[in-house]
Every structure is written in C-alpha cells, then in structure tokens.
Amino acid sequence: MQNRSKKIKYSLRFIPDKLYLQIYYFVKFKKFCNFKNPQTFNEKLQWIKLYDRRPEYIKMVDKFRAKMYAAKIIGKKYIIPTLGVWDKFEDIDFHSLPEQFVLKCTHDSNGTVVCRDKKTFNKKAAREQINQSLQFNYYYVGREWPYKNVKPRIIAEPFMSDDLTMSEKNRKSYSNGGLTDYKFYCFNGEPRFLYISSGLEDHATARISFLTLDWKFAPYQRTDYKPYETLPKKPETFDEMIEISKKLSAGHRFLRVDLYQINGQVYFSELTFTPSSGLMRFKNPNHDREIGDMMKLSSN
C-alpha cells in the first residue's frame, strides 16, 4: 500500500510544488494550507518546503554527508562508523562486512536493509529493495526540497541495538532488537520537546511517545502510532543529548535532531527539516497550532 502511494505521488512529479503541496495537504487534513499566513506546525513546514531552500540543507539530509557535517560540530565520537559507500549494489564488497550490518540508501527514508546473520541474509531481496530506492527520487513524494539533489548512494554501518528504554512488559513486543530513537524538536536552536520511538520495523508493535525535557509524557499524540504504555527509562546521557541538539540546531528556525544511546554512548542519527513531510496528524488538532506557535518564520 505504501509503495503504491509513493508511485502515485511520483507520477504527479510534473505538477508545480505549491499546487502539489496544496492538494496533498487537503487530502490529508480536508482543508487548504494557509501559505500566506501559516499558523499550525504542519502549515509552517509546508511553507519551509517552498521558501527556505539553503544549499547547505542538501548535505544535512544526505545520510552519508550528514555524518561529516555533524562531526565538525559535535565531534567524531558521536558518529556511527561507515563501513563502506557505493554507487551500486553490485559494487558492495560483502566479504569485507561483519556478520551483522545495515545497508542504507543515502537519499531517502525507506531504503534500509538489516542483516543480522550473513548466513541467512537474502541478498536477492536486499538487491531489489536497494535498487528500487536508488531509482526513486524521494523529493517527489512530499516535495521536501533538500532531497531533490542528494546523490543516491549506499552506505553500510555496523548493526547496533539497545533495550535501554524498554520495560519488561514492552520488551516482549520488540523481539527484533534495533534502536530507540530520541528525536528532539528544536526551535531557533533550543530543544522544546522530543519524541522517542521503538520497534518501527513492525507497525503493530511500534511505539511513539512525545516527552517533555523534564522526562514526562507531553500532551501531544500522533494518530498513526500507539504510545508507550508506561514512561520509558530516562537515558543517563539525556543532558548530553540536549546539549548536542542545541549545537546541531543552532541557526535554524526549526530542526529535528535524531540521536541514539548505545551502551551509555550518544550517537548521531540524522537531521530532519520537515518531520512526516509536514503531514503529522495529532489526536488533538489544537496541538498542531500549539507547536506551530513555537516556530517563528521571520527569524533564521
């Protein structure tokens, strides 16, 4: 279903950005986007797509180049090692990779393949998924401008997992391992709140909850994912995460900074300018406006 939706959006790639975004927004929210005087968080993210197009954003969303960008600001110790980078799947040297690894396309959000055991790794399925992603320009899905000119490549990283935030009750639902994401919503260089997510490999067991910076449940809740049943354990590096988020988001009216904690060490994940492509539905629609008030479009 998701691939079908992407293909439909891709077939509309000749429609001008503003018209496309207005149609897309109306289909999602059953109302028109106010581009002239945006008020809600989602409206302001649509505005950013059209009118905030600094060239540096391209490297900031490139999953390979973003590592180098972040390393210059926060240091190399926070960067997950890159085991290799290739233009084509056929160029990957699988013999040089460890028993467990992750393949990622650098230009989109769906071209990720996890290998937990090289002996059972389905290389054919991986090739099909990666090659499909390499041929697809992610920009045309949601008109998120920075992705348009990201060079499609493949990187490999070590497979890393944690269970630091799982209660014993929740952990049973996450048998596949993986990482917990800490996604900080930063406005003018200041983190205001975050959400954490786990188990996103399986939508049925995935959990997403918004939290305040004093580690309490925030009132915001998405309509597309279930929240955590109990408050997850606060990572011991949380204060460090906040400082890293401040450094990476400095100079930007809005930036979501995504981090991990693995074995007591903070790691950089990625940077996002328009979360959920500016189409995130909240259970309480008033929260869209409340978060929108945190963003000032007149400042850089």
In the chain, what are the domain boundaries?
A: 80-160
Cα 214 to chain centroid, rounded: 23
194-247: pLDDT as tens digits = 999 998 878 788 999 999 999 999 999 999 999 999 999 999 999 999 999 999
Whether residue 213 contacts residue 220, with contact meaning beta carbons closer than 8 Å, is answered with no
- pLDDT truncated to tens, each residue of the chain (300 aa)? 456 666 666 677 889 999 999 999 999 999 999 999 999 999 999 999 999 999 999 999 999 999 999 999 999 999 999 999 999 999 999 999 999 999 999 998 778 999 999 999 999 999 999 999 999 898 999 999 999 999 999 999 999 987 544 443 444 333 334 689 999 999 999 999 999 999 887 878 899 999 999 999 999 999 999 999 999 999 999 999 999 999 999 999 999 999 999 999 999 999 999 999 999 999 999 999 999 999 999 744
Contacts (Cβ under 8 Å, ≥6 apart) of 204: none
Per-residue confidence (pLDDT) for residue 7, from 0 to 100: 61
Pull the structure tokens for residue 184: 């900080």
Cα 189 to chain centroid, rounded: 18
Stretch (H or E) spanning 195: strand 190-198
DSSP assignment of 103-164: EEESS-SS-EEEES-TTT--HHHHHHHHHHHHT--THHHH--GGGGGPPP-EEEEE-----T
Per-residue confidence (pLDDT) for residue 45, from 0 to 100: 99
Whether residue 75 contacts residue 119, with contact meaning beta carbons closer than 8 Å, is answered with no
Instruction: Indicate the pTM of the whole model.
Output: 0.91
Q: How many CB atoms lie within 10 A of CB 194?
A: 26
Contacts (Cβ under 8 Å, ≥6 apart) of 207: 170, 173, 197, 198, 199, 225, 226, 227, 228
Per-residue confidence (pLDDT) for residue 10, from 0 to 100: 63
Q: How many CB atoms lie within 10 A of CB 128?
A: 13
Cα 294 to chain centroid, rounded: 20
DSSP state letter for 165: T
Q: Which residues of 96-109 are buried (b: 16+ CB within 10 A; e: fewer)?
A: ebeebbbbbbbbbb
Per-residue confidence (pLDDT) for residue 267, from 0 to 100: 98
Rounded Cα–Cα distance for residues 267 and 67 (Å): 10
